[in-house]
Amino acid sequence: MKFLATILLAIYPLSLIASVPNDRHIVVEGQSKITAAPDMVIVTFETESQNVTSLHAKQVVDKRINNLLAGLERFSVDDKNVTASSITTYANYIYTDDDKKVLDGYIASRTVKVTLKEISMLNDLMNFALEIGVSEIKNIEFQSSRQEALRQEAVANAVKDAKHQGRTMASAFGAKLGNVYSINSATQNHYDRYGFNDAIETIQVTGSRIEAEEFEPGRYLQENIVFSATVHVVFDLEVD
C-alpha cells in the first residue's frame, strides 16, 4: 500500500495537494464538464470622433451614444443591462514630411456594453447601432443566465467524481475508502466549446454605405458554453 501511495504522489505533485497524512492514503482528482446553450449575449460597441476641438469631438460621440441608448428599448434592453459611463479624449498628432510633430485635431472615444437577453435580436441590434453612427463592434460574448448555478453544479459533479474514483481504486487494491483528510480548493473555468468566432469578434464600418436590401441578414452561430471544475482530494484508506 505504501507503493500505491508513492505512485499517486508522483502523479499528483504536492503543489496540487493541501497536505497528505503519514498513514495509508489515496490522492484523487475529480473532474466535471457541463455544456450549456447560451441564452444571452454581451455586445461591446465603440464609437469615436475626430474634430478640431476636444469638446466638439466629445459632443459628436455623446450624440451617437445617446441615439444608441434611446433605441435600446425596442430590443427589450433596460438601463441596468447597459454600461456606458466612460469616455476618453486625447490630442492626435501626425508627422510632416520633414518629420515635424503637428497637432491634427482631437479624438473622443466611448465604449458601451449592452447585455441582450433576446439572442434572436442580435443581428438587428448590430445593424441599428451601425446605422446611427456607432464606429465599431468590438466584441460579441455569448453567456448563460444560469452561469453561477452551472459553476456550482460543475463543482458538485467534480466532488462526486472524486469520491467515485477513490472508491473504485481503493476497492481494486482490496481496501476501503476512508474519511477525507484534505481537500484542495476547486478550480473552475468556462469557455466556448468551438472557440471564438473571429469573423464576428470585430466588425468595423469601412468604405461607403450600401443599401441594406442588397444583403442577406447575417447569421451568427451560438457557441455552446462549457463549465468545468477540478478538485484534488486526499482520502484515508482502510485495510481489513
* Res 6: pLDDT: 38
Residue of 109, 45, 47 whose CA lies nearest to 77:
45
Query: Among residues of the chain, what percentage have pLDDT more than 70?
Result: 77
* Res 23: pLDDT: 80
pLDDT over 50 at 228, yes or no: yes
Mean pLDDT of 99-126: 94
Residue of 153, 155, 178, 157 whose CA lies nearest to 27:
178
Compute CA distances 151 → 57, 184, 193, whole Å: 43, 17, 16
With bands split at pLDDT 50, 70 and 90, how would you rate the model's confidence at 5?
very low
Q: How many C-beta atoms lie closer than 10 Å to residue 121's C-beta?
A: 16
Query: Among residues of the chain, what percentage have pLDDT more than 90?
Result: 60
Helices (H), the chain: 2-11, 54-70, 122-131, 147-172, 198-201
With bands split at pLDDT 50, 70 and 90, how would you rate the model's confidence at 3?
very low
Cell of 56: 466638439
Domains belonging to the chain, first-starting first, are 12-38+145-209+219-240 (3.30.110.170), 40-143 (3.30.70.2970)
Residue 211 contacts by C-beta under 8 Å, 6 or more apart in sequence? none
178 or 187, higher pLDDT: 178
Whole-angstrom Cα distance, residue 31 to residue 165? 10
83 or 199, higher pLDDT: 83
CA dihedral 135, 136, 142, 143 (to 10 degrees): -60
